[in-house]
Each structure stands twice: as C-alpha cells, then as structure tokens.
Structure 1
Amino acid sequence: MNRYRKILVAGIIDQEEQPALKRALDIANRTTKPSEITLFCTTYDFSYEMTSMLSADERMAMRNGVVSQKVKMLNDVIADYSKSDHVTITIKVVWHNRPYEAIINEIFDDSYNILIKATRQHAKLETVFFTPTDWHLLRKSPIPVLLVKERPWPENGNILASVHVGSENPAHLQLNDKMVDEAIYFAEVLNSTPHLVNAYPSTPPSIHVELPEFNAVQYKDAIRGHHLTQMKALRQKYGIPEEQTHVYEGPTEEVISEVEDELTAGLVILGTTGRTGLSAIFIGNTAENTLDLLNCDILALKPDGYISPLDPNHIS
C-alpha cells in the first residue's frame, strides 16, 4: 500500500478549504511507510510587473514578499488538517502566470508519483467543470493526475476502470493493464470493489443503405461477442469476478456515465494514449464529453514511455 509516497498537490491559493490536500492525506495516511506531500501553489499579479518606477530588484523584492505572505497563510491552513507521524507536508509557492506550466515544471524537478488537484462542480447538474488548467494538466502531465471533488472518498464503495478491450493496439492494451492494476490497488486501499467497463460501437445506420445485403444482427452479435471474450480474458487475468465487469453497446461517454451512476462509483479511472493528450482518449471519442458527465473523482493515466511536450529533455 505504498505506491503513492511522494504526492504533489496543486493547491488553491487564498482558500482555507483544500480538497486536493485532504484527498492526498487520505491516501498518504493509509501507507505503512513515510510519505511526502508538497502543497504547491502559484501566485501572480500583473500590476507588480507594470511598476515602472521600481527597479528590477525592487520588483523582485515585492514578489518575494507576496510569496512569503502566501506561504505563511498556507502554513496556517494546513495546521487544521490531521496528519499522521509518517506524513510530512511541504509548502511551495512560486510566482508564475501560467499555473499548469509551473505545476508540470515542478513535476520534472522532483520525482513525484501522482498529481492531485481539485476541480470545479456545477451546483445544479452536479457534474465536473474543467478549467483550462485542468485540461493542460490532463494532457501534458507525465504522471497520473487525480482530479477530486469534495464528496467523501469511496470507503467500502465501488471503483470503475474504463478499459478498451476491443483494440489490438499495444498502447491501448498496456493501458488496460495499467488501469486494472490501479483499480485493484485503490480497491485494496479503500476496501472497495473494482469494476471494469467497456463500450462497443453501434452498427452505423447508413450501412444498410450502402450494403443492402449486410446482416446487422449478425454483425452486432459478432462485435458484442468479441468484446465479451476480450473482457473475459482481461478479468480472468486479474481474478476479477464476472459480475464486476460491464460490456455495453453505445457511445463510450454515455456508457461510462451510466455505469458510474448505477454503481455510485467514487472513482473512475481513465486512460489516455498520450499522443495528443486526452483528444486521443477511448479511440475516437471526445474526452470532454466523457469527463463532463462524471460525478466523482477521476484518475487519468498515461501509457508507459509517454513524453510530455513540456519535458525539458524532449526534442521535438
């Protein structure tokens, strides 16, 4: 239970409630070995850059003063969060006008295992509302990204991993294994039940016009049979009971949302191919549609070997 021992939390500056920090402590307090949490925040005020009457040194001193004030405030905030003896929290505030760049630069500067960030929620629809920073992090972070809401962690609940068993692409197959492994890990940590979900496409209506002799029922049965067979192989590989796997026809985003709602899942695990970030998620489906329908925490994983476009060692 010591997979995530070095956690980077993207904090919310000037706010006492820190949902991402709370979730990080939920994870760290369940480990049996020492864990480190870095509460990372950015601050920026364009007016400081426009103070032409001040010298560069004076502007730097003003920025440092602001940063020091923010650090002091966050130290007061974390005092209200319960910590175990083997969990340490470090506060880091940097002056930067692009939070996602600062966060990813911090990831490259240290060996973090996971990035945790709170995301917004629509009050009426109770769905996630992603900010530009969220999307940049989901697309470009080289480590797992956990986006959290304020509802409780799913103790004795359900965890859902969205797999794509119909693909023979090595990157997708590797992601399937990675997502199932994460689902099992968090299920053990949270004493919860892991579930796998897979969606397969409907028969295109236009195909009946283009190919009058086409047998739609036979085609549909063949597609469903293939996905069920591949799901069986995956669940047997990890010892997951059949009743904890779900294979349905329909758009990926709708299937995941319906199963998540049916299970009242506390965590959904998604995989990204990494080539173009989340635009390549689920092989042709739109990530934005999928994520905006979910009501719970979301863990996004990249395949092994993913190279972030912001990697300082990456040569394009």
Structure 2
Amino acid sequence: MSIYNKILVVADINHDEQPALARAIQLAKKSRSTSHITFFLSIYDFSYDMTSMLSGDERDAMRRGVIHQREQWMKKVAEPYIKESIVFDVKVVWHNRPYEAIIGEVFAGEHDILIKGTRKHDVLESVIFTPTDWHLLRKCPIPVLLVKNSDWPENANILASVHVGSEIETHLDLNDRMVDQLLNLSERLGTTPYLVNAYPVTPANITIELPEFDPTTYTDAVRGHHLTAMKALRQKHGIDEEHTIVQQGLPEDVIPQAADKLNAAMVILGTTGRTGLSAVFIGNTAEQVIDKINCDVLALKPRGYVSPLDPTIAS
C-alpha cells in the first residue's frame, strides 16, 4: 500500500496558481504521519552560459542570483497552500533539461510520488501534455501524477484501468498495484473507486477467412473471460461489483468514456513498457488513452522497472 509521504511537486513557473501543489497538500493532509513536500523547479537561461563578457565566477554569481529570485517567488506562491503539519522545502536547480533534473531529484530525495501540473487548452477544453510530461511518464521510476488545471470536482470518483484479460505475470502484478493505489487514494481523498476494463472487438475479417467461425460465441467467450477475471480481482481487493466496468472496445475509447460518465477526477494507468535500459516508452495504447483523458492521470510502472536515468546504471 502506497503511503506517499515524500512528495515531489514540480512548480509551474508561468502561474502563481499551483494546482500540483494543491493536490499534494490534499494527499499530505490525509496522511497518518508527517508528510514532506519538496517544491521543485529546474531553470536555465542559455545566455548566462554563452556570454563572453562575463567570467566564470560572474556567471556563477548571476545564476545564483536567478536561483535565489526563483526560490523567493516559490516560497511566496506556496504560502496559501502550506499547512503546519507538513514539512515543506523549496529547491531550485540550474539544468538545461527539466525532466532530467526532476528525475535526478526523484533519486536524490527518494520521493514516493511526483506531482506536476499540465496545461489546459482554453478552446478545446482538453489537457495538453508537454514534452517534459511525456519524458516523465516514460522514464520516471516512481508514480507520476499529472494534474489538470482545475479544482477537484464535487462527488468525484477515481478510476483504475486494469488489464484483467492478460495472464502475463507483469500485468497481473501491475493490476494489484493499481488497485492498491486506487483504494489508498480514494480513502485519502474521499472519493469512490472504480475499476474499468476494455476487451477486444471480434476482428471483422475473421468470418471471411474462417467461414465456420461463430463471432457471437467468440465474443461471449471473451466477455465471459474478462468478467470472471474482473470478479476475481475485485473480490481480492474488496470492491463491489457495481464499481466495476467491463466493456467491449478499444481502451483509448472505453477509458475516456468511462472517465466522463463517472465524473472521474483521476484515472490510474499502468504503463507496461519494457523494463531495464530499453524502458524509454510507455506503450502506444497508454499514450492514446492519456491524450484523451481530461482529468488527473496517475501513471504507474511495473515492478522491476529501471529508469534509463538511474544514476546507478547510467554511464
């Protein structure tokens, strides 16, 4: 069961409002022990490193001055959010690749969860994920919570997208981890937990290639398999049947539809990409789902995932 007592929050340098910090405070307030929040920012200005008019010491002094200014700003914008029961600190680093700086701090600080705000498109009412977001989703070794720039909805629900049709051990273990996170977060945030699973549509051309094939029987068998597997998963974790959804269709369609229908404030996804040094992507299906979800997204890696930015293996 995740505790989330060491929380790393990425500051939004473009706004005084900090939804990621607000969400971190929500989690920390519900903790059974003292929480520690690190409010983090990576900054870089190419001009300070390239000018020949300044000596190395002068450039260092200017960088320290910029960092100090940012630290003061972060302390100011954080004041409305901070509670006495929470240990809080601010950290600003000079780095030209924000995602590398953030993941470096994840390892250095041994944080439990990373929380970052996402941008909301004013016209399309959708969330825009930045290149830094995608790098974090792919390479961060701890759970990544991307927060939409809006308040937590009334009567909110949290939805976990589980892959119950698989018999692969990695998928089964990830399902259990997602449900653990779902129940933990639902308890801490006062929301209702739901499980959703999409099962595949029968291929349209299979009856042409195999005339004796009965698509109805096949579809019923697939649905039955997924329903049975979902029942086993929900009973294992004590979740009521009415809080589960098993629906035919593509995950990138079923999951966003379920999130809208259930007024989901958060969707939990497993990113079952490769483990080890080659783990630099999160899977095409997960990426398509994330692009279509207009709420908070919590992405979890499989057990044994090794970030390519892990300092113990990076060259």
TM range (shorter): over 0.9
Task: Tell me how far apart the structure 2 counterparts of residues 27 and 298 of structure 1 sit (CA, whole Å).
Answer: 15
Task: Tell me how far apart the structure 2 counterparts of residues 110 and 44 of structure 1 sit (CA, whole Å).
Answer: 21
SS at match of 1:266: strand
Output the amino acid matched with 2:55: S
> In the alignment, does 2:55 pair up with 1:45?
no
Task: Tell me how far apart the structure 2 counterparts of residues 164 and 279 of structure 1 sit (CA, whole Å).
Answer: 18
1:154/1:190 contact within 8 Å kept: no
Measure how far apart 1:13 and its partner are.
2.1
SS at match of 1:152: coil
Task: Tell me how far apart the structure 2 counterparts of residues 179 and 287 of structure 1 sit (CA, whole Å).
Answer: 14
Q: Could you report, residue by residue, the CA deviation over 1:23-60 in whole angstroms, capped at 9, with x for unpaired residues?
A: 11111112232111111001111111111122212111
The 3 A distance-change label for structure 1 pair 278 and 227 is farther
Task: Tell me how far apart the structure 2 counterparts of residues 4 and 150 of structure 1 sit (CA, whole Å).
Answer: 21
Measure how far apart 1:84 and its partner are.
2.5
SS at match of 1:313: coil
> In the alignment, does 2:8 pair up with 1:4?
no
Measure how far apart 1:121 and its partner are.
1.4
Q: State how 1:106-185 maps to structure 2 within 5 Å.
A: 106-154=105-153, 156-185=155-184
The 3 A distance-change label for structure 1 pair 14 and 67 is farther
Which runs of 5 or more structure 1 residues have no equivalent in the other structure?
none
Output the amino acid matched with 2:75: N
Measure how far apart 1:288 and its partner are.
2.6
2:160/2:268 contact within 8 Å kept: yes
Q: State how 1:211-290 maps to structure 2 within 5 Å.
A: 211-275=210-274, 279-281=281-283, 285-290=284-289
TM-score normalised by length of structure 1: 0.94
Aligned counterpart, 2:57? 57
Measure how far apart 1:14 and its partner are.
4.9
1:5/1:36 contact within 8 Å kept: yes
Q: Could you report, residue by residue, the CA deviation over 1:134-160 in whole angstroms, capped at 9, with x for unpaired residues?
A: 000000000000000122235642110
The 3 A distance-change label for structure 1 pair 154 and 190 is farther
The 3 A distance-change label for structure 1 pair 122 and 191 is same
TM-align CA RMSD: 1.7
> In the alignment, does 2:296 pair up with 1:297?
yes
The 3 A distance-change label for structure 1 pair 278 and 196 is farther
Measure how far apart 1:2 and its partner are.
7.9
Aligned counterpart, 1:99? 98
Aligned counterpart, 2:85? 86
TM-score normalised by length of structure 2: 0.94
Identity among equivalent pairs (%): 59
Task: Tell me how far apart the structure 1 counterparts of residues 101 and 280 of structure 2 sit (CA, whole Å).
Answer: 20
The 3 A distance-change label for structure 1 pair 145 and 2 is closer
The 3 A distance-change label for structure 1 pair 221 and 209 is same
2:186/2:192 contact within 8 Å kept: yes
Count of aligned pairs between the two proteins: 312
